[in-house]
Amino acid sequence: MQNRSKSKFLLLILILCVSQTAGATQSPRVALVLGGGAARGFSHIGLIQAFEDHGVPIDLLVGTSMGSIVAGMYAAGYSVDNMKEIIASIDTAKLIDVSFPPRGGLVNTARLERYLDTLLMHKTFDQLDIPFYAVITELVSGKEVAAHQGPVSQAVQASMSIPALFQPVERDGVYYVDGGMKNAVPVNTAKELGADVVIGVDVKKELETIDHDSLLNNLQLALWFMIDGYVEINTADADVIVVPEVKYDSYMDYQKAEFFIEQGYQAGLKHMDAIKAAVLSSDPDFKFTPYKQQGYAPEELAEIHARAEQAALATPRPFALLPEITFASEPGQKTKLGIRAQNGALGWFNLGFRRGLPFHGSRSEFFIGWNRPHTANAELFISPGEKLHFGFKAAFPVGDMGELSASYQNHGDYRWRVQFAHPAVIHSDHFQLGFAPNLMMPADQQSLSAGLTGLIKYYSSAEFYPLMEVTLAKPYFFGRFDVQTEVNSWMPENKYQVGLGTEFKLFGLYPLDCYLGLEIGNPEERSWRIGLRGEEF
């Protein structure tokens, strides 16, 4: 009798254990599918924050293009705050190179891949905290693939490789490009992977106004309706599709990250009742408990990010043969046109040839240089002729934006010159003031000469705006003054320049600054100046 009672007790315990296990397995598997959209994809970060604040679990992540970057980082353990901090501190100009001649794409992304790989701790998919699939497109067949093996950074890089803009990415002998070309919101992938509840995010783009006489508008519309056709098919089985209010914003607006993140959060709140209802339909007893992925402490995050940037900067750039133009900055000087070979086997060195415009009557100049970004650069140049011209110049960064430079030449209006330049000593959203004091030895004088250059920029708008969906532009008015005088006597020579300029961000990533101005010296001296601001003040 005692044995029978004991057997019944053990049977009861077994039944309870089985029932509890069965109850535990009934918790729905929730998949979050993050679509492409370049800068608009920052909205995904805000949506993840809404999920955390309202206790909606994320058991599976599927991403395309920018969505794969955000999903990959969250799956690797980064918190929402971590991702916000990384976005705020990233310098995209350090991570990409404009290739010439192009090799597979206009932009070389070797540095970006190294950056992502270091940021993701060189993890493979099986080392992630949350299961993650990056959707990529096979370039030859057009077949979509949900990558889930090998290095995470490589799959993420492939998923965001827009054809013609970025190089295709090779994986096991096969080349892949942006997953958004075939599946911009891969809800179907999440369903095929067994998710019970699938929440998709579509950060699609629309035009505020349509001009059917515009070639660009017509091309955009044709591309979008082809992509949207796939989206409509692939999202048919979604439980909820979240569409943040970013449809009129450009894919290049990376500087609007805070806005996009907030729009993603607000969209999450707007759809939260529907999201919770979808979860409860699978498990009516599910408890929504707010949570927060811990991520990395600020000091640790700063160390990781610095290490990732260093890894990117240490990555050799591919060989390039680049056209070069050096604009005349002083009266009597000539604008020079040339060609420069750099990177590849040359490492940090470069060499090339220049000649003044017009070519007739100008001298040829040969140069060899050394340039390590954010460390130093130097150049030695010679110009053969009846009298050999030669010179040397070097520059070193000081702080975040300052630069100390020194130069020597055996010809021209000075022999040696030292200058410190800072383009933004004072700056705000609409105003920027820079200074560049210098000290030099003029060619025809025995005493030193000291000078000061000032550059004032006024921006009519605090934000960049998209131009032809190729670049962002931020126009400005500018005024510049140059004052130079002998150190032992006050006999200033003044020059002034006024004009218009525009700062550009090519594809929203690569900075350029062009200007056109009228220069005024003494009453008889007036000349137009056109140029690029970059390393020179």
- Burial category of 376 from C-beta neighbours within 10 Å (exposed 0-12, middle 13-18, buried 19 and up): middle
Structure tokens at 71: 């999903």
CB 311 within 8 A of CB 118: yes
- Burial category of 114 from C-beta neighbours within 10 Å (exposed 0-12, middle 13-18, buried 19 and up): buried
User: How far apart, in whole angstroms, are the C-alpha atoms of residue 32 and residue 195?
Assistant: 9
User: Cis before residue 358, ω within 30 degrees of 0?
Assistant: yes
Helix (H, G, I), strand (E, B) or coil at 309: helix
Helix (H, G, I), strand (E, B) or coil at 409: strand
DSSP 15-34: HHHHHHHHHHHTS--EEEEE
Distances (CA, A) of 443 to 147, 414, 440: 65, 4, 9
Catalytic annotation on 482? no
User: How far apart, in whole angstroms, are the C-alpha atoms of residue 296 and residue 224?
Assistant: 38
Of the candidates 112, 77, 107, which has an alpha carbon nearest to the alpha carbon of residue 91?
112
User: How far apart, in whole angstroms, are the C-alpha atoms of residue 55 and residue 135?
Assistant: 27
Structure tokens at 535: 């390393």
Structure tokens at 97: 């190179």
Token look-up 């133009």 returns 325
Contact partners, residue 315, CB within 8 Å, separation at least 6: 110, 111, 114
Contact partners, residue 370, CB within 8 Å, separation at least 6: 348, 349, 350, 376, 377, 378, 379
CA atoms lying within 13 Å on the CB side of residue 18: 6
- Choose, from 43, 65, 383, 405, the residue flagged as catalytic: 65
Helix (H, G, I), strand (E, B) or coil at 112: helix
The single-letter code of the amino acid at 488 is N
- Choose, from 97, 117, 178, 239, the residue flagged as catalytic: 178
User: How far apart, in whole angstroms, are the C-alpha atoms of residue 110 and residue 140?
Assistant: 22
Catalytic annotation on 65? yes
User: How far apart, in whole angstroms, are the C-alpha atoms of residue 117 and residue 153?
Assistant: 5
Token look-up 């954010």 returns 374
Contact partners, residue 534, CB within 8 Å, separation at least 6: 512, 513
Number of Cβ within a 10 Å radius of residue 151: 18
User: How far apart, in whole angstroms, are the C-alpha atoms of residue 280 and residue 282?
Assistant: 5
Give catalytic residues, as residue numbers.
Answer: 65, 178
